[in-house]
Homo-oligomer: A and B are copies of this chain.
Amino acid sequence: MSEATTGKGRARGIDRIIGLCDCLHRVGRPVSVRELVELTQAPRSSVYEQVATLLEAGWLEERTDGLLFFGRKMHYFGTDYLRHDDFIARARRVLVELTAEHAETSQLCMLEGDKYVVALSEMPPRPFAISSEVGMATPIPWTASGRVLLEGYDAAALHAFVPEEDFILPSGERIQPADFAADISRAASQGYAVTRGLVDGFACCIAVPIRDLRGKVKATICFTVGNDIDDQRLAMLVEVLSEAGRRLSEVSVSGAR
């Protein structure tokens, strides 16, 4: 992802900005200028200058505690994106519907490079819904959606595509690529994937594919529910998701991207 957008040596302002925002997103919390300098590896004086520019533009905001984070403008731009990407806009309506109907967190997930990201997330208005952060890059093997998104990948292809370290779960345990490949082909044949307590212990994820015109999986929608779910409800949710997945697949005609 972030290629040479950070690092020392003279760089274009625009690349520095991109690197800066990527870092901010990656850490996912307000940071001090000092921290920003460390994260981006950019020259101190440059960072000060860029930050000043971005603050003035409303791309960043300085909070009362002096820390920096994204500003209003980013929200506006992001909202513009959501409105104008046909596929995303349609998916969002479906997620809202699913979450309203079943009171579970529903998400739209996609690949970004060799990582999995949550593109959209709708949480039910209940106190302890399980969430995960929009846009955060996560190793593919950690997720149910990953098993759907990598449809068609065999062990060799996996080895080439997925970074070695991504097979190691937060717990330290290692997923065997062969097992992962088996999960993938099972997902392909049954049309959905379920993981239980993979990264979390208490979470259970159910993912189904959304396909483009050529039948390739381009995204997934998933429910994230408590691991204590019973089989009957799980089957019901699978059914509901599959239906939604089909709906989002077919009309994906000329929409955006």
Q: Which A residues lie at the B interface, using CB under 8 A?
A: 5, 12-18, 21-22, 24-25, 28-30, 50, 53-54, 57-59, 61-64, 69-85, 88, 96, 100, 112, 117, 119, 125, 133-135, 254-257
Contact = CB atoms under 8 A, between A and B. Distances in A.
Contacts of A16: 14
11 contacts: A13-B14, A14-B50, A18-B59, A25-B77, A61-B256, A62-B257, A69-B80, A70-B81, A75-B119, A76-B134, A78-B81
B64 A74 contact: no
Contacts of A57: 5, 18, 22
A64 B257 contact: yes
A76 B77 contact: no
B80 A24 contact: yes
B63 A256 contact: yes
B18 A53 contact: yes
Nearest to A75: B78
A113 to B, nearest CB: 10
A15 to B, nearest CB: 7
Given A64-B257, A69-B81, A72-B135, 12 more contacts: A13-B14, A14-B16, A14-B50, A14-B54, A18-B53, A25-B76, A28-B80, A61-B257, A71-B81, A73-B135, A74-B81, A83-B133
A84 B100 contact: no
Given A63-B256, A257-B64, A77 B70 contact: yes
A143 to B, nearest CB: 17
Contacts of A13: 12-14
B74 A74 contact: yes
A26 B165 CA distance: 43
Given A74-B80, A74-B81, A15 B53 contact: yes
A77 B78 contact: yes
Given A112-B72, A134-B75, A14 B53 contact: yes
B69 A134 contact: no
